[in-house]
Structures are given as structure tokens and as C-alpha cells.
Structure 1
């Protein structure tokens, strides 16, 4: 009997110490890599912080990382593998809107929460809502495109007083859905773009699109794309000897835009949830920890790193509150978080409800500007 009790207690301890497996899905290679790697590394810092304090429910968090290569079909494979083979209790990540929309349905069906911490397509958190779906397992810690497009238009039309606007957007789900958000925001100001142009990933010559914008009399170029192609836009404007302001969605802050555009990227403006500036003790500690851990000065995508970091703390708080890793209970806890959490982006106070899975509100987002090879708060 005593031996049986000892065996049971040892088994209970072993079970209690079993890691909580969390998926991390993002593009760790290719043109989207600066945001994917920065997000993953921010997530790793958060997990290290949490595990150093005993983990969650007495169990360490364990990350299961997968490179989705920014490809929809690869994202689907990764989702199925993380759910069915790795048995993750939640996944953080999804940097690309198209990958999120293609992949997160598997988590929804399995009732496993997803924390979108970079992808910004406005529809992402509304893919599974009433009346068709009673409960939604998709959450977000990035500024959605409805927020960003309104800020971009406000910067261009209200603050800078431009009336002739061109839009250049890539051909992905992200670019085209963002373009539609921009057009709606412009229409609300009574403005129709003088040119709306599309380009493909890996395009290296934007001359045709830029000429149409220039010939249309554009006073400003609004963009929706990612770093490498955005740099081609900036460099293409230089080749045409045509310099107008460039204002776009958050990836204008990516390291591969800033580096590839060089002086041609100076002055580009974009919405940001986080700028690499240690203006609070929490932010200062986070930046210094990132720099030390990954031996860099400038974070390749500071926004992605910060949003990744905060997403883990929100998820961990929900698991702790639920007292369980059960997906239904964790979702319910996320929708009713009773712990106020100080993140590096903001202090989260009941960030989600059953019908609102967007942690980032408009008043949490600022306009950044590329200056001397870094992103700073726009003046």
C-alpha cells in the first residue's frame, strides 16, 4: 500500500512538471524573416522570464517553433502538425495575413486559442464570429489594419494636407485587404486616389507603378507591403527623381526596408505599437534583454518583438486564471482577464471580451518615422 502511494505521488509530481507546449508559427526565412525572427525572439524572452519565476501552474512553458515561410500552404501544414502531433495548448504568431486566414481555422475547429501577434488584416479576428460561430478562438496583440489605415490617411490628409494620393500595395492578402481599408478611410475623407497600383513579392522594378502615380499628380504615396518591396518603391522614386512623402503600414519600420532603402527611406512614416526607445523601465529592460540575448543593437522588427513578448504574458495569465490548459477554459479566461498586466506596449486591463478579441486600441498606436537608419517617434 505504501509503495503504491509513493508511486502515485511520484507520478503526480511528474505530471505536474510536464511542460505546457505552446506553438510559435512565423516566417523565420525569406523576406518576412525580420518580423518572424523578431517575434519569435520576443516570445522566447517572455518564456524565459516566466519560467525563471516557476512557470505557469507549476509547469514550465515549452515552445514548439515552426517556420511557415510566409506561405499559406506551409502555414496549413504547420497548424495541423502543431495541433495533431505536438499537442500544443495554444499557438502564438502568424505574421502574414494570408497565412493566418488559411491556417487558423484548424485551431478554431480544435478549440485551441491562437494569439496573432503580428498579422494585421482586419478580418483575422472576425473570421469565426456570431451568428455562425458561438465562440471565437482567435485573438490579437497587433494593431489591425482598420486602425492603421485610418492613421495613415489622417497623417497624409489631415496632418500633411495632401489631397492627391496614390496607393501602392502588394498582391498578397495582406496588401490587397490593406488597400481596401485605405480606400475606405480615404473615402470617409471625400478623397479618391489618383492611382491604385499593385505589385508582386520579389518585384525589383516599380517604375511602371510609380510613373502612373507621378503622372496622376500624386503628392504622397501610401503603401501596404513588406520591407524588401517597400525599399524598391523608395529606390524607384529616387531613380525617377521624384520625391514625395511615403506613408504606409507598419512594415516600413522593418530592418530590411531601412537598410535596403538607405537614404531613400529617410522620412518614411508608419503606425507603430512599439518604438525601440527605453522610455519606461519595462521597455528599457526589454530592449536591453533583447540586445544582450541576440547580440544586436537595432531590433530587426521592434514592433514584432514587443507584440510577441506581450502575447505570451497575456496567454500565461489566462492559463493561470483558468487553472487549466483546456482550450475552452483558456479562451474564457482571455475574454475575462482579471489581472492587470504591464506589457512593453501598454498596460493591459481586460484587453478582450467575448465579442472583441483586439487587445490593441487606437490610442495605443503612434506614428513612427525613419530617421538616420532607425525608427523614432514622428514629430
Structure 2
């Protein structure tokens, strides 16, 4: 075979291979629907990521067992963002550049969501978060972000009212972590407290790497508060609760949904008893569908679900319903989510009705849990 014939032969072979690959690739991709899940899967906040993974995974297992979405199985693609902006940017870029990923569930932490959001906007990738409560996210998302949870301004107003009316508190000391979630929650609480006439006697900042809160506790203790508001996540919240009790700071500890994790109790020990926290989902207050979810979750995860798992389950359910209607197309999914825009058009899930305003925010009720005898239990709810 001479040189020209060899070149021609190889060209035919390569063209045939390219054609075969081109035909096989889309056919294989069409068999599945890929959903990205951005969450902290390792590091200090890995317990949050585990909650999201369990909740989304349970719903996907149900969907696939029933035949998938329009006959296509759902495949989850996980990205470990460590609850940190830098890593969230990397994960967001990976998701956005993978054209087979049609939507993202995430991110968990507000700082991570804010970091990834510009990437999703540029690439036209819809994102629905089960947990990011910072109020500014929706206002900068240009219609590509939705959340299945209340915002921090609502949560803070609720907490301030609960502290005053249900707990009878008058003087509040604040500890807040220096991140988007905690600062937003703290700022909104200060505004709500002022409106109610609650006196804030001090606000002490901390970072997620701190382990000794002695100086901050000493300052707050000197102001003699009857309540301590922890605006942050469970890891440092537990240390503050434990060290405050050791220092003789006698005040009721309460906080936002960032404290809702079994590890808060494990890390704080007996000092966690008597703490109060707000949550978007309370198993004891849920209807039949919620109770069924709780039973199935306990069976699969071998533990009680928390609000993050429940919201993540509903996020996947919402996406499944939208994709079944409009297909696995990013823009159509975005438009389909935006169509849930009123109580009459709401998605009815285990966490109640979910519908979005023009910023992708939803208005859902808050509940209160307390720690009693080393376990989370429903607190008296505010009417």
C-alpha cells in the first residue's frame, strides 16, 4: 500500500471512529440526567454535606426506582466546596463547564453560594439551594438562583420575637462568625431587636479557626445579659456554649439554623442543654408526607433527619417535577422553577409549599427546637 493510499485509509478509519464516538456520546448522555450537588463533603463542615447528600440521595433513589424522569435515570455529580468561597468557585466552574449537568443543588453555605453564583450566571446554569439563607444572594443572581429556605432577615426577626415573647429575654449578648451567613443573620437580628426594644449589650466577632473564646466571653459576661445569641455554625457555637458555662456566664443560649446538627450536642456536651434554635423543618410538625420521609430517612441513614436533609430532598423533588415538564434544558429548567411564583402554583413537598418571588426567595415558616437531656426536641412554638 503506497503512502497516498495509507493516508486515505487512515482518514476513512478516523472519520468512522469519530462518527461512531459522536453517535455513541449523545446516546449515552441521553440515558441519564446529571444534577450537580455542591456541598462541604470534607473538612469542618462535612456534617452539613452529609445531611445534603443523604436527603438528595434518598429522593434520587426513589425517582430512579420508579423509572427515572421520563425514562431517564438521575445521576448526581458531587463537588466538595469545603463551605469556602475559593473551593466553591472551583466546583462551580466544574459544574458550569460540564454541559451534561443541567442544574445544581447547592451550595450549603451562603459564602460558597455567593462565590459560585457569578459562574452560574455566565454559563446559564440554574441553582437551587436547600440551605443558603443570606438575603443578598437572590438580588445578585439575575434569576438563576432559587432557595427552598427562608432568608436571614426573616429568620432574625423571628428569633428576636421568640427571644422576647417566648423566652422572656431583655438583654442580649451576641457572638457572630465572620462569614456571609453569620454577619447577615447578626445584622438583621440587631435591626429586629432595636424595633422590639430588646437591648443588645455587646456583639463579639470570631473566626472559624478560633478555639478559645475566653476574651469575648469575658466582655459579654461583664454586661450581664440574660440571653446569648450565637450567629454562626455548630462547631464554634458548641465551643462557645461549653466555655460560657465554664466561665459562669448564666444566660439562655439561642441561635439560627446553623446550630442544627447532632455534632452541636456532641461537641458542647451537657452545656448544650437548654439551647434554642430556629429551623425551617420540624419533623414533629410535618404532615403525612413528612412523616413518611422521616421513616424512610431513618431506615436509610440510620439516624434522625434534620432540616437540611428535608430541604435537600424537596430541592431534588422540585427539580424532578420541572424536568419532567420541560426536559433537561438549563434555561427551560430556570423558567420552570420561576413558574412556581404564587401559593396557587406552589410545589407541595414534605417541607410545605414552596414558591418563589422575583429573586428566587421563598417565604416559609420557622420552627424552634431545643436541647433537652442531650437530645433535640420540639420547643414551644410561637403562634
The two structures have a TM-score, normalised by structure 1, of: 0.88
2:217 equivalent in structure 1:
210
Choose from 327, 333, 336 the match for 2:330.
327
2:310 equivalent in structure 1:
306
Range with greater deviation from structure 2 (236-245 or 187-196): 187-196
Taking only aligned residues, the RMSD between alpha carbons, in angstroms, comes to 2.3
Choose from 208, 227, 234 the match for 1:201.
208
Does residue 297 of the first structure (1) align with residue 310 of the second (2)?
no
Give the Cα separation in 2 of the matches to 1:196 and 1:124.
24
Report the alpha carbon displacement of residue 224 of structure 1 after superposing the two structures with TM: 0.9
2:95 equivalent in structure 1:
82
Give the Cα separation in 2 of the matches to 1:67 and 1:43.
15
SS of the residue corresponding to residue 200 of structure 2 reads: coil
Give the Cα separation in 1 of the matches to 2:351 and 2:374.
22
Tell me if structure 2 keeps the 8 A contact 1:90–1:327: yes
Report the alpha carbon displacement of residue 202 of structure 1 after superposing the two structures with TM: 3.0
1:38 equivalent in structure 2:
51
* Higher alpha-carbon Rg: 2
Choose from 191, 196, 216 the match for 1:184.
191
Tell me if structure 2 keeps the 8 A contact 1:278–1:284: no
Give the Cα separation in 2 of the matches to 1:146 and 1:298.
28
SS of the residue corresponding to residue 274 of structure 1 reads: coil
Does residue 255 of the first structure (1) align with residue 262 of the second (2)?
yes
- The aligned length equals 356
Tell me if structure 2 keeps the 8 A contact 1:269–1:367: yes
2:14 equivalent in structure 1:
none
Structure 2 CA distance for partners of 1:220 and 1:103, relative to 1, 3 Å: same
Give the Cα separation in 2 of the matches to 1:345 and 1:56.
22
Structure 2 CA distance for partners of 1:162 and 1:12, relative to 1, 3 Å: closer
Report the alpha carbon displacement of residue 283 of structure 1 after superposing the two structures with TM: 2.1
Report the alpha carbon displacement of residue 297 of structure 1 after superposing the two structures with TM: 2.7
Give the Cα separation in 2 of the matches to 1:327 and 1:86.
9
Give the Cα separation in 2 of the matches to 1:158 and 1:370.
19
The two structures have a TM-score, normalised by structure 2, of: 0.87
2:11 equivalent in structure 1:
none
Residue deviations 1:41-97 (CA, integer Å, cap 9, x gap): 100111111122222232111100111111211110011011113631000021111
Range with greater deviation from structure 2 (77-86 or 38-47): 77-86
